A and B are shown apart, each in its own frame.
Chain A
Amino acid sequence: KQEVTQIPAALSVPEGENLVLNCSFTDSAIYNLQWFRQDPGKGLTSLLLIQSSQREQTSGRLNASLDKSSGRSTLYIAASQPGDSATYLCAPDGSSNTGKLIFGQGTTLQVKP
């Protein structure tokens, strides 16, 4: 059974810092992995999707990497801003492409002005 762990659980940084959020998963047989952002009391917003054949994806100040063999993904946020404050969730999809995402508990980020 796939298990997803995100470290750290919470992170507080001053504005402008570069930071890395970590995600590990126990079953490396994944179809893709998605990173989401969740604001308090809201739904999830997709940030990046990495296919199993890819090593990384970039969108603006965000870069996500995937090392499927070791069961790890990282989300790199460059030049953090207060508006980046949210909970970040990673979710691998199983090998059969059913869309059955398994979520980690998330990393709650606070960026202080």
Chain B
Amino acid sequence: DGGITQSPKYLFRKEGQNVTLSCEQNLNHDAMYWYRQDPGQGLRLIYYSQIVNDFQKGDIAEGYSVSREKKESFPLTVTSAQKNPTAFYLCASSSIAGDQPQHFGDGTRLSIL
């Protein structure tokens, strides 16, 4: 079945530690996105990529980094510079034609130890 796989489902971070969230898609989509969701709030865009080896900052990119070395993969690293990383992280993908919806993974919940 085609879809988006995020791993792990739950992740814990210690002070000063970088952690990487995985996102893989087999939908052959060119565009991929990372969103952050805080309790009772809508999603906010962290980074997005419309093509391999290129990505753009979203609204809240500070303290995060990404790479796009393969079309299928768009990992997100939460660095120690992100002072409030506790949140639900969602990865999405879509075609770039603009007439198809974004598809989402099931998310990774990150907490601070």
Contact = CB atoms under 8 A, between A and B. Distances in A.
A5 to B, nearest CB: 10
A97 B100 CA distance: 11
Nearest to B58: A100
Instruction: Identify whether the interface residues of B are mostly helix, strand, loop, or mixed.
Output: strand
Contacts of A46: 101-103
Interface in A1-52: 4, 31-32, 34, 36, 41-46, 49, 51
B85 interface: no
Interface of A: 4, 31-32, 34, 36, 41-46, 49, 51, 89, 91, 93, 97-101, 103-106
Interface of B: 4, 6, 31, 33, 35, 40-45, 48, 50, 56, 58, 90, 92, 94, 96, 98-107, 109
